[in-house]
Every structure is written in C-alpha cells, then in structure tokens.
A = this chain, B = another copy of it.
Amino acid sequence: MAKFDLMRRLTLNTGGKILLLVMDGVGGLPREQGGPTELEAAHTPNLDRLAAEGSLGLSIPVARGIAPGSGPAHLALFGYDPLVYEIGRGVLEATGIGLEVDPGDVAIRGNFCTVDADGLITDRRAGRISTEEGAKRIELLKQISLPGVKIDIEIAKEYRFAMVLRGAGLNGAIADTDPQATGVPPLPVQALDPAAEKTAELVTQWLAEAKKVLKGHEPANMCTLRGFAEEPGLPKYSDVYKLKAACVAVYPMYKGVARLVGMDVIQTTAHDTTADEFNKVAEIWEDYDFVFCHIKYTDSRGEDGDFDAKVEVIEGVDQALPILTALNPDVMIVTGDHSTPATYKAHSWHPVPTLLWAPATHMTDRATAYGERECMTGALGHFQATDLMPLGLAHAKRLTKYGA
C-alpha cells in the first residue's frame, strides 16, 4: 500500500498537538579530532532536559550519502519522499523569493544575459551584475503585459529572477530557452506537450517584449528562461494527516514549501529573532494541531564555516526554548532538515540529530543530551526523515492500528 494511502486510512482527526522545531542544518562535525560538534559544544540545558526524558535518533534526509537542498530536505521532514515528489525548479525559485504559486500557475526561473548585435549570447550571466542592477531591470520587465495573464516577477539574486504566470489554460511543459552555450542565440520557446502551445506563444511574446525593454541596458540586455514548472499538487496535510497545520518561518523558501503541503503561513518579518518566532508559535498554538517552526541561522553560520557563531545560534534557540515548552505540546520534535557542518561549509549528508519528546508515549533511552553522539545511542536509531511524521502522529495518538 502506498504510504499516503496508509496515512489516510490510519490517521485520526483527534489526538495530541505536535510542535516541529527545525534548526536548519543543525547537524555538524567536530572541529578537531576528538572534539565536540557544534551541537555538542553548545550549552543547551533546555534541549538536554528534553533529550534525557525523550527519544533520540538520527534522521537520514534522502538516502545515505545524499546531501539535500532545502526543498527536498523539508519535503522529507514533512513526510514526502523527495525522490518521488519533486518540486519544479521554477516553483522552488519563485516560492524561495516569496512569490506564491497556486494550482494552475506556471513558475519560471530567469537569467539576465548579454547578447550582441546579432542576438548571439556573449555572456550567459550578464557579467554577474549586482542584485541592485538586476532589480532595476526587473522594474522594466514589470511593464510587460500579456493578454489574459497576470505576471508576477521579482529579482532573486544578481542576474537571477523568478516569474509566475497566472491565468486560465496555462501549462508548464515548456523547454528551457537557455542554450547553455555562448555564440548562439537563445533557444526559441518550445512546448513539450501540445497542451502547452498557448503558453509557449505567450512566453514568446513576453521574450520579444523583454528584448525591447532591455535594449541598451548592457550587460543585462536580454534574458533566458528555465525550469518552467507548475504547482506540484502535493497531497495536503489536512488530507493525508488530518492536521490543521501552520508554519512559522522567516525565509520565503520555507514558507513556500510549507504552503505547498497545505500549511497556513503565519506572517513574520525578516528581522524576527528566534524569540519572536517562538512567540508567534505561542500566539497561534490554540488554533492548530501542528506547528512547524523554522530557524534559519544554524544553516547560515554553518555555510559561513563559522563554528563558534553556529554554536551561538544553537545556544540562542535553547535560551528561548521555554517559550515553546510552556505550551505543553503533546509531542515536540527538534531536528534539522540536513547537516551543515561548519568545517564543511555546505549542506552535507550526515544524518541529523533528532529529539522526540512526548511524555505520554515516548520511550526513554540512555541518552542524556541533544548531540550527535548521544543520538547514536537513542531509541529511534537511524531512520528515514520521511518516517518522522508517522512517528510524530503515533506519539500524539493520532494513528489507529493497522489491521486486526
């Protein structure tokens, strides 16, 4: 039986409340042989109390050895096998910069490029112009309109932007126009399915207009489009898990993925601190069965390669944690979407330290603190990240028995 059919069959719409706290990239590595990881070096009395009482384990985001991006890693935490459910690149880029993508929309990634007088590409990245320069050109592109289509377009970073087309009868089965080479013109817009012919014509029209408005704005005097994708139609939390779910996150990408699985996205600002986020969770706690709270900066400091700064972020989370524990969740899960060891300065494949605390149902193990090596001894063992939701639901008494 397919996993979500099993979930639909077994989930109850009664039971306990679940709080999922994700510290992005929380897993780490020792800085020196025999030394502690970031998580082990951090002073985290609140997390350690939960760890001593509850069950620890190590979560495998996608498969052993696979370092995931944030999109697939969060899909896995939410219970969706990222090797089965792929979010198209256009949708990831668009949601990543805060553009909403709804069913029927087509999301696209764009690159500014440089073309010569003959229309041949001389630089596929337009000299890697600054984000400010990119944003100026986005204002020009915003002037373009298409019949029967609403266009949302925003700069992502430097020469990269994202665009969402909204309207009736759109279809994302369209090939990239980026030829992946210089000395040639951008590829014509090509429908990969007859149903996408109309959309391909509209995009052709848009690119012709783009060429006109960008003319003279060298080095970014043209653009290519890639990763055409529709809203992925993921099964929704309310359907598969019978959960009313909300997301508290500050980065658009995480809000975007949460929205795609049917969570309500709570209003936040980019300046919200961890404590601000936790207070938002507290404000909405009564209204939801499940709250996903996302902390970004563990990952950012790992990517920076700043071991000490990552330790500080973790300690900050621990200090603010009483705001969450005061809510008395029936199930509290603390984990990461993947590891981002400061020594590695990038997402890695190392399994992610995970803490499951559910006083009415958890199995206490011998682990006494929240850290990589304690997690190796825990009650949960090594498990696939996609198993986290069934575990959370079970511990919240929201799953009935399978078979008689």
Contacts and interface: CB of A to CB of B under 8 A. Distances in A.
A86 to B, nearest CB: 7
Q: How large is the interface on A (under 10, 10 to 19, 20 to 34, 35 or more residues)?
A: 35 or more
Contact of A390 (B10, B66, B68): B66
Interface stretch (A111-119, A189-197, A261-269, A365-373): A365-373
A41 interface: no
A372 B365 CA distance: 9
Nearest to A68: B402
Given A63-B390, A65-B399, A402-B66, A376 B365 contact: yes
Q: Interface centre among A58, A384, A403, by most B CB within 10 Å?
A: A403
Interface in A180-208: none
A69 B363 contact: no
A67 interface: yes
A364 interface: yes
Nearest to A227: B404
Contacts of A350: 363
A326 interface: no
Contacts of A359: 33
Given A69-B404, A402-B82, A404-B69, A366 B361 contact: no
A392 B391 CA distance: 28
A108 B277 CA distance: 55
Interface in A69-84: 69-72, 82-84
A33 B62 contact: no
A134 B67 CA distance: 54
A349 interface: yes
A148 B196 CA distance: 54
Q: Name the prevailing secondary structure of the A interface residues.
A: loop
Contact of A402 (B62, B366, B395): B62
Contacts of A16: none
Nearest to A67: B401
Contact of A82 (B33, B70, B346, B403): B403
Given A65-B387, A69-B402, A376-B378, 12 more contacts: A30-B363, A63-B390, A64-B391, A65-B394, A92-B403, A348-B394, A349-B394, A365-B376, A366-B373, A376-B379, A381-B382, A382-B382
Which 10 residue pairs are nearest across A and B when measured between Cβ atoms?
Answer: A65-B390, A381-B382, A65-B394, A69-B403, A64-B387, A72-B403, A69-B404, A65-B391, A349-B394, A1-B83
Interface of A: 1, 3, 6, 10, 29-30, 33-34, 53, 58, 62-72, 82-84, 86-87, 89, 92-93, 96, 344, 346-351, 359, 361, 363-366, 372-373, 376-379, 381-384, 387, 389-395, 399-404
